Amino acid sequence: MTTAQTSSQPLTQNPEWRSLGPGLHDHGVTYRVWALGHQSVVAHFERRQGKIETLELTPGPEPGYFSGTDPKGRAGDLYKFSIDGGTPVPDFMSHYQPRGVMGPSLVVDATRYAWRVKDWQRPKWNGQVVYECHIGTFTPGGTYRSMIERLDYLRDLGVTAVEFMPITQAAGDRGWGYDGVMPFAPFHAYGTPDDFRALVDACHERGLAAILDVVFNHLGPEGNFSHAYSDFYFHLGKDNPWGQNFNLDGENSAPVRAMLLQNICYWLDEFRIDGFRMDATHTVHDPSPVHLLAEAATLAHERGAFMIAEDDRNSREVLEPREKGGWNFDGVWSDDFHHVMRVSQTHEQQYFYSMVKGTIDEMVAVLRQGFLYTGQVSPFHKAPRGMPCDDFAPQRFVFHISNHDQAGNRLLGDRFHHGIDVENYRALSLFLCLIPYTPMLFMGQEWGATAPFLYFTDMSEELGLLIAEGRRKEFLASNFARDEEELARMSHPQEPQTFLRSRLDWAEIEKTEHRRLLDLYRDGLKWRRELFGASNPTREQWTVEREENGVVIHYRLPGRNVSVHLNLLGREWPMPAGAKILIRSNEEKYSGGNSTQGIETLVLEQFPVR
């Protein structure tokens, strides 16, 4: 074993001294670690022919920071760190784990990738149509590269942005992504970092924005080496349902905040991500004067990127500008819309569905306001929920009738369309395409995919058993399973078949019933582009009214008056005089019967324009 030399250049001369992880440059590789509470950090390199070399990192310039430069370092080097003489472990700030989460980390040269799009610019958030997907189950190959083969399909569908479920390194070879443990390392099972760059690049070639789902509220339970480096990474006593919160306001929290903000810049600068969907932001504990997520939004906006929150509070804080104490996010998911639409068809009342009844009045309210709950008491939360937010522009609310949670957290992983009449599903699908808010689709919903989307993991056997038992308890407690007999139908998360069953079957789009539903989505989104152009309609351009049979959105667009009627009661109603049908969900070409009776969405243009 030989020893590499430590850089003699003072690290404080480098403005990037606080940036953690490996830094490749002309003079080798500089390694930076934050290991507060420890005395020594030694890098172990796997050289060619199995030779091991070490490099002792130097403390400073602030407590907990260690750094050192390997002058022989280059891209492709494999390494681990030994903390206080302990067993070498992977780099918590690793950029790639070619052998999985327990293997050595690899030095990546981000400049080697030759970007094909030379004049790329990040698009605005206003006007986006989002498509959420899980890379591992989107294609038979389940990789970054295999997804590229389906991007033309997505462009032709009419979506404008692809939202990738989390891709950070986690245990095993399969999972949803929310158990990531290395925030800077793309998941090895999907391919290399350059493979992910190629996917983002291919999105941009087709005019598609790339949105990355990022988790700042916890790390996964297996392969999480953060505590080997410092116990100060997490805020003890501030746990959430999935794990420990990062230390954002406690003792020695400044380096943790810096690391997370570095992570935002990393994905933007090295992978050209256009925006982020931040997971469960209501569980990110930070009572600091300026919330970490507000700082993250500022960094993103400085680079032209956008920020979207999943936040169940219906709070103005997420959308308000910084000067009003808000985070200044560009958008937020409105699960209220999903719940109202689903319950209108299924009449479910278990768990959070108890908040809604699925009535026409609730539809009118959520369509007018963006949220249903704007301060009234929620029976589920047993407390007031939400604030009035109807002064915010419509593009700032993301509406959907399906997403990964709403399928994957059901006992059978069944999708919305699996449990309702196809006529009803067509009506809600076309309506979604023509709402004034930002519509989001979940992969496969546009053709009525038969594959479920199940919850799957690839943890160690012992942990896998605990996860499965935890899911069973949750299903019983939430009444998604009423008894042990129903619970027995749950697919075990650890079984490989659970993962494989969740993969989309692309052959289905050639089958008549699936192809016709797909045509409806394509035509619906085509009409969205024709009517609204590249932006969402402003609040001044539309109104929502209750009708005897359902709800109608009246659009007053430049040179056009268009109304989108959702007929929920299946009663025949008279066609307004001087109206022209633009599209209807029950047209024969979409497998409907052209009847004026039955549940449907009908889009009319009124003449003359007044």
Which candidate, 220, 20, 250, places its Cα nearest to that of 101? 220
Q: Which two tokens stand for residue 417?
A: 């369309």
Structural tokens at position 7: 């850089």
Q: CA nearest 434: which of 588, 604, 320, 277?
A: 604
DSSP state letter for 429: H
Query: For residue 526, what is the enclosing H or E element?
Result: helix 512-532
Do residues 404 and 442 lie in contact, with contact meaning Cβ atoms separated by under 8 Å?
yes
536-573 burial code (b ≥16 CB/10 A, e <16): bbeeeebebeebebbbbbbbbeeeebbbbbbbbeeeee
How many Å apart are CA 338 and CA 367, to the nearest integer? 11
Strands (E) across 218-349 are located at 234-240, 243-246, 275-278, 306-309, 331-333
Catalytic annotation, pick one of 194, 222, 286, 310: 310
CA quadruple 309, 313, 319, 322: dihedral sign: negative
Q: Where is 169: in which H helix or E strand? A: strand 168-169
62 labelled catalytic: no
Q: Which of 132, 222, 279, 405 is catalytic?
A: 279
Helix 292-302, helix 254-271: angle, nearest 10: 30
The token pair that represents 421 in the structure block: 């009449």
Q: Which of 65, 20, 90, 66 is nearest to 262 (CA)?
A: 20
- Catalytic residue list contains 279: yes
For the chain, the C-alpha Rg in angstroms (whole number) is 25
SS (H, E, C) 354-402: HHCCCCHHHHHHHHHHCCCCCCCEECCCCEECCCCCCCCCHHHEEEECC
H helix or E strand, kind and range, residue 264: helix 254-271
Type of residue at 279: D
The tokens for 438 are: 């930002």
Amino acid (1-letter code) at residue 452: P
Distances in Å between the alpha carbon of 110 and those of 23, 197, 231, 269? 10, 9, 30, 10
Residues recognised as catalytic: 279, 310
